[in-house]
Amino acid sequence: MSMPNLNETLYFIVNPMAGNGGSMKVWEQAEGMLKSDVVPYKVFFTEEKGHAYRLTEEILSRTARETRIIAVGGDGTINEMVNGALPFPHAIIGALAGGSGNDYVRGIQQTKSVEEALRLFQDNASKAIDIGQYETDGRFGYFVNSLGMGVDAEISAEADRSPLKKWFNLVKAGKLIYLILFLKTIFTYKPGDMELVVDGKRHSLKKVWFIVIANQPYFGGGIKISPQSKLDDGRFNVIAVHDIAWLKLLAVFITVLWGGHLNIKNVVSFTGNMIKMKNHGSVKIQSDGEIVGVEEVAAEVLEGKIHVMIKD
């Protein structure tokens, strides 16, 4: 595979497997527009998990100027790209929504079509935003959307395995898989006790369904879990749902559509820049929808750490 020429302006990393192949249709549409408008670009295709990370590193290590690098895939692809781009201050990140959830495009980039995104990518404007760094079991990583422990991580893991995901993606309704799996999982999931530490202050929570550390409003394919989150305030919003019956949990899920869940008893929120979570048992941890560990995790805000293309 040849590496990009320094005179190229846009670099695309396409995950052909994202959205069960739907990302390729997104790329074909984008490529047609790029060629029609004679926009210089270079494209690379991932071949396995972790490849977007390595491609991002390789592209950025061969440039010294501001470089616009764009993921075509889902939140997992953009997460790999962000992790690969962090050592390079000249990186400017973007994404074309080609996955199931697409929370990055929805909550951070805020473009609603391929055409709108391509116009944004050709603009010179960019913005520095916060991201999160986590440590679990001695391993470090970064997240741009959210980090969660509990039923949200269980649903993320199940979504990756579920054959339903393919069919919903085929009819461009991929995010519905998260709703269906939520309704299925709440009948089998057993909430446990967790310890949450926010900027040194300890909170012991009973029968926790989930705790999510949010860097932007959306997670789980469009659920507006944290309407007060901002991308550049140097703080996380932390939402915990605990000690609540599954029937009332359904009410939480409904009211989350307009942010009313924050007024429900036993839905608690915090803000802080140093967060620790520990579960008294084996519960999965998700970072931007990818399972990264179990049981215990620490996270901190990295202020203005990466530049992104973002709609005003």
Read off the CATH number of the domain in which 91 is found: 3.40.50.10330
Q: Which residues contact 97 (CB under 8 A, 6 or more apart)?
A: 26, 74, 105, 106, 117
Domain, as residue range, for 231: 134-304
Same-domain pairing of 120 and 243: no
Same domain? For 35 and 176 the reply is no
Q: What is the pLDDT of residues 252-309, one digit of tens each?
A: 777 776 677 887 888 999 999 999 999 977 899 999 989 999 999 999 999 999 999 9
75 and 148 together in one domain: no
Q: What is the pLDDT of residues 4-36, one digit of tens each?
A: 444 458 999 999 998 778 899 999 999 999 999
Q: Do the domain assignments include residue 66?
A: yes
Q: Are 132 and 213 within 8 A, CB to CB?
A: yes
**One domain, residues 80 and 157:** no
pLDDT of residue 178: 65
Q: What pTM was estimated for this model as a whole?
A: 0.87
The dihedral region occupied by 188, where left means phi > 0, alpha psi between -120 and 50, and beta the remainder, is alpha
Give how many domains the chain has, as a whole number.
2
Are residues 106 and 163 both part of a single domain?
Answer: no
Neighbours of 253 (CB within 10 A): 17
Among 80, 103, 124, the domain-final residue is 124
* 46 occurs within a structural domain: yes
Nearest Cα to Cα of residue 67 among 12, 144, 111:
12
Residues 145 and 292 both lie in one domain:
yes
Last residue of a domain, one of 124, 153, 184: 124
Region 125-134: mean pLDDT is 95
Residue 221: pLDDT over 80: no
Q: Give the burial string for 25-63 (b: 16+ CB within 10 Å, else e).
A: ebbeebbeebeeeeeebbbbbbeeeebbbebbbebbeeb
Tell me, yes or no, whether 1 lies in a domain.
no
- Same domain, yes or no: 149 and 83: no
Residues 105 and 25 in one domain: yes
Burial class of 195 by CB neighbour count within 10 A (0 to 12, 13 to 18, 19+): middle
Q: CA separation (Å) from 23 to 70, 86, 252, 306?
A: 13, 24, 32, 24
Residues 156 and 180 in one domain: yes
Considering the domain architecture, whether residues 120 and 149 belong to the same structural domain is answered as: no
Same domain, yes or no: 103 and 207? no
Higher pLDDT, 228 or 175: 228
Is 98 among the domain residues?
Answer: yes
* Per-residue model confidence (pLDDT) at position 175: 56
pLDDT, tens only, 32-90 = 999 999 999 999 999 999 999 999 999 999 988 999 999 999 999 999 999 999 999 99
Domain containing 192 — which CATH number?
2.60.200.40
Tell me the two tokens of residue 258. 């307009």
Point out the domain boundary residue: 101, 124, 147. Answer: 124
Give the separation between CA 14 and CA 52, rounded to whole angstroms: 8
pLDDT digits (tens, 9 = 90+) for 148-181: 999 888 887 776 665 555 544 444 545 566 667 7
Among residues 80, 81, 97, 78, which one has the least CA distance to residue 26? 97
In a shared domain, residues 97 and 185: no
